[in-house]
A and B are shown apart, each in its own frame.
Chain A
Amino acid sequence: MKKRFLLTFLLGCICTHLLCAEEISIKTYFTPSTVAIGERGSFSLVVSGTSFPKSIDLPRIHGLQFGYVGKSHSIQIINGLKRTQVTHNYWVISEKEGTFVFPDTPISIDGNEYIIEGSLLTVVAQKENAALGNLSPTLQVHIGKKNPFAGEVVPVSVTLKAPDGVEGRILPPNHPIQKGDSFVDHGFNLDPQSASMIENNVHYKTYTWETAITPIKIGPQKLQYEIPLALTLTREQHRTINSIFDQHLNSMFGNFVREEREVLIKTSTLSIDALSLPEEGKPESFSGAIGTFNLEKPELSSSKAEVGEPITLSLNINGQGNFDRIGAPELKETRQFKSYTPKMSFKAKDTFGIEGSLTLEYIIIPQQPGVLEINNFKFSFFDPEQKIYIEKAITPAAIEITGTSPSTTKPLPSFTKNTPSGTTSDNQLLPIKLETKKFKQKITPIYTSPWFYIANTFLALICLSWIFFRKRYLKRTENPEFYIKIQIQKNTERHLKAAHEAANKHEVELFLGSAQKALRLSIMRMEQSINHDAITWKEMEPEIRKKVEDPILMHYIKEIFESADAIKYGKQSWDKKSILDEYDKLNKCIQLLAKK
């Protein structure tokens, strides 16, 4: 009986242990537990146990937004018992101040009911941002005038005050941003003025941006600036599941992490009452200029001009005010002149264009001769300090106009039909022509055609050829020896060519005959009266001796002559093996004779 009881007890213990192993716990927590409005925090849902829900639907909490980031797993084995932990991570952001409760929520896993343990999130306003600490950066705005006129340019400065030790950086656009649409910004410089200050024994660094604004709406308006910053924060790390290793690591390296957090720092809202310009005393020439302006004496490009000749009238307005909203003073046209919209150019003396000089260039075209005086040309502005309109007359010097009125102002003379053709008249247009002649393709000068150049080149060649042949003819007729010399030279070349052809064909008789003729012409070239073909060696020998001193050459010429005669008349053979070699010798011989 005792044994049965012990057995039952042991089985009960084992089963209880197994049942404990199957226990599931679901916890939640916000990190950090306090955030500022608009600041992003994290929400973790930790499921510990051996089985897990397939999906968890978070309850909807009014004022909080959740977004799923992902999950992480961890496994612990203690005394052979395996425990698994799954952490579901979410981002959370709040749009309003207050304490938000993530309630205890029942959940069903594998048919068993479990409870998700709830948690709290405190959302505070930015100034009370606990995460940033009590010494968070602040933004302040200073306006030069609380009650400006609509359209007036008002200087504004925005200062960022950051306690020493706060690390961070200014995010793009790197300058404060105006909220709302009641004012027009004149831009910020990207390099603010930095300074240091001590307030309540706390050291601060300040960054100041200067700008200007123009109210564009009448009545009470709100002005607020904000600037995006990325602050580097050091915070204590939150851990819900502390393993032995985590505890050791925390004791070694501390339980702190550094993270960069984006925050939006805002100024307090300034109430500004934008006034409307008074209607009383507003001049007709007022075109929106508000400020204090000076008008320089207008300058003319010329004091004398002809009718229709453009003249430039330059007008210079300088001072302080809303130069970006000044309309050009109207120059009313008269019969005497026409004018066009002026060209405006502005040179600013400061960054925001409050102080500077505006130049207007009017183009005037005189229409009538005479003295042109421009009257009723005024510039007016509203002085916001004195709260009155000031009107100034623009009086350029008179211009002397010469010439006649332009033709375009006059109507064209009328057309009269049935005017006799071919007669000219001063007040009638002659009628149209009824017949056409040949159509030309283009109205171009003939020198653009290539035929013009071809024809001229051809004519030039004809003239040059004419000169060349005429001069040659004259030389031939005036100097017959020259002509004979050319003829002999030509004939010698002809015989030499025939000899070369014969040598190529191995025709010995023809070669020797041509060689003989070529040599005869070369030797006896000046003897006009002699029939060269009939000259014998004996007749030629004295002449050759005069010209040829070389006995080898002499012997060669003699051999040619005798061989030619022997073959021609004696039908003998020639024992030379290579006629081409003989031709080379002949050629050299004739060249030598030509030099003599």
Chain B
Amino acid sequence: MNFKINKYLILLVAIICPFLAAFGQNPKQLFTQGNEAYERENYPLAISLYRAALNYGHCAALHYNLGNAYYKNDDPGRSILHFEKALLLTPNDPEIQANLHFVRSALEIPPTSSYFLKSLSSWITYNQWLTLCIFTFWLSICLIIFIKWHHPPKLFPGLALILTASIFFITLYPLYRLQSSIKEGVILDKDTQLKVAPTESSPNIAFLQPGHNVSIIKSQDNHFFIKYSFSNKEGWVLNTHCQPLWDISFSN
């Protein structure tokens, strides 16, 4: 009986606290309160507080902690989603990489290949790579204009042009690799149905397991049309069972 009361109390607190906490509080306070709940092993409350903080914006530490809380709450799909989101914000954070690798290993999801050029893309964020790419592009253009029409002594500007152009071309590779991740999503729930059509009564093609990354191609009627590269299958999943990594909209 006591156990039941405690259970209901926790549930009540878990429901009410985020609203109370969100009222008149800043995200850092919510983050701290979430950490406290996490330390008390009250993971549902920690998740609610972290999610309330997410309403104010995104932060790598917040997504990382949310990933931890979801994992402890026996929800590995959402855990992987938030670790991935944290990595988008700080791709070279070893703790995030370690926990993501850990949860993936626990779910026996095979790791993606990690050779030099792959790890290169995780040095900085996608936006930083794109900024670098654009900057080096225009710098190269300026150097070309300078060399062609100002006739400077050719050694220094020539070397600078080679350097900036090289950086520009190098940035293209991580951008190419990361571009595919822009439309990536994560399967959240166990035995997620991959359907033939975006309807409830549609027959299933396969059942997907949580934590697996999929490419989201388009959306329609609360469904995402996804490509599951692991078994090279395509189909529709309910958008409650799959969430994109980036905050972008998908065309119909």
Contact = CB atoms under 8 A, between A and B. Distances in A.
B213 interface: no
A431 to B, nearest CB: 8
Interface string A424-444: 111111111111111111111
A432 B65 contact: yes
A470 B27 contact: no
Interface string B59-96: 11110110011011010100000000100110000110
Given A425-B98, A444-B246, A407 B108 contact: yes
B209 A429 contact: no
B225 interface: no
A443 B246 contact: yes
B250 interface: no
Contacts of A445: 126-127, 130, 182, 246, 248
B218 interface: no
B130 A412 contact: no
B85 A443 contact: yes
A456 B74 CA distance: 46
Nearest to B231: A309
B127 A424 contact: no
Given A424-B97, A432-B35, A445-B126, A440 B56 contact: no
A439 B95 contact: no
Contacts of B71: 412, 415, 429
B58 A408 contact: no
A439 B106 contact: no
B99 interface: yes
Given A365-B207, A440-B57, A446-B130, A429 B68 contact: yes
Nearest to A404: B108
Contacts of A363: 204
A74 interface: no
B59 A407 contact: no
A444 B71 CA distance: 25
A446 B149 contact: no
Contacts of A404: 108
B59 A440 contact: yes
Contacts of B103: 429
Interface stretch (B14-22, B115-123, B134-142, B154-162): B134-142
Interface stretch (A169-177, A181-189, A459-467): A459-467
A428 to B, nearest CB: 7
Contact of A440 (B89, B109, B131, B209): B89
A343 B108 CA distance: 31
B145 interface: yes
A436 B62 contact: yes
A426 B105 contact: yes
B94 A437 contact: no
Contact of A443 (B56, B88, B94, B204): B88
Given A442-B247, A456-B134, A308 B149 contact: no
A539 B190 CA distance: 102
A433 B106 contact: no
B245 interface: yes
A502 to B, nearest CB: 43
Nearest to A413: B106
Contacts of A365: 207
B162 to A, nearest CB: 19
A428 B71 CA distance: 12
B44 to A, nearest CB: 15
Interface in B202-228: 203-207, 209-210
A589 B168 CA distance: 58
A369 interface: no
Interface string A457-482: 00100010011001100100000000
B31 interface: yes
B102 A433 contact: no
A309 B206 contact: yes
Given A424-B101, A440-B58, A433 B65 contact: yes
Q: Which of A306, A432, A459 has the most CB of B within 10 A?
A: A432
A421 interface: yes
A108 to B, nearest CB: 76
Contacts of A421: 95
A469 to B, nearest CB: 10
B61 A436 contact: yes
Given A429-B99, A471-B149, A463 B58 contact: no
Contacts of B60: 437
A436 B59 contact: yes
Contact of A407 (B72, B97, B109): B109
A436 B126 contact: no
A410 B126 CA distance: 35
A281 interface: no
A467 B145 CA distance: 7
B107 interface: yes
Interface in A470-525: 470-471, 474
Contacts of B203: 343
Interface string A400-426: 000010111010110100000111111
B107 A443 contact: no
B177 interface: no
B236 interface: no
A310 interface: yes
A424 B94 CA distance: 7
Contacts of B76: 412
25 contacts: A406-B209, A407-B109, A408-B190, A408-B209, A408-B210, A412-B76, A422-B95, A423-B98, A424-B102, A428-B102, A429-B99, A430-B102, A431-B68, A437-B59, A441-B57, A441-B58, A442-B247, A444-B247, A445-B126, A445-B248, A446-B130, A447-B130, A463-B145, A466-B142, A466-B145
Interface of B: 27-28, 31, 35, 38, 56-62, 64-65, 68-69, 71-72, 74, 76, 85, 88-89, 94-95, 97-99, 101-103, 105-109, 126-127, 130-131, 134, 138, 141-142, 145, 149-150, 182, 190-191, 203-207, 209-210, 231, 245-248
Given A412-B106, A466-B145, 18 more contacts: A309-B231, A410-B106, A421-B95, A422-B94, A423-B98, A425-B98, A426-B105, A431-B68, A432-B35, A433-B65, A438-B59, A439-B56, A439-B62, A444-B248, A446-B127, A459-B138, A463-B138, A471-B149
Going nearest first, the 10 A-B pairs with the smallest beta carbon separation are: A439-B57, A424-B98, A433-B61, A407-B108, A407-B107, A432-B65, A470-B149, A442-B247, A436-B61, A446-B127
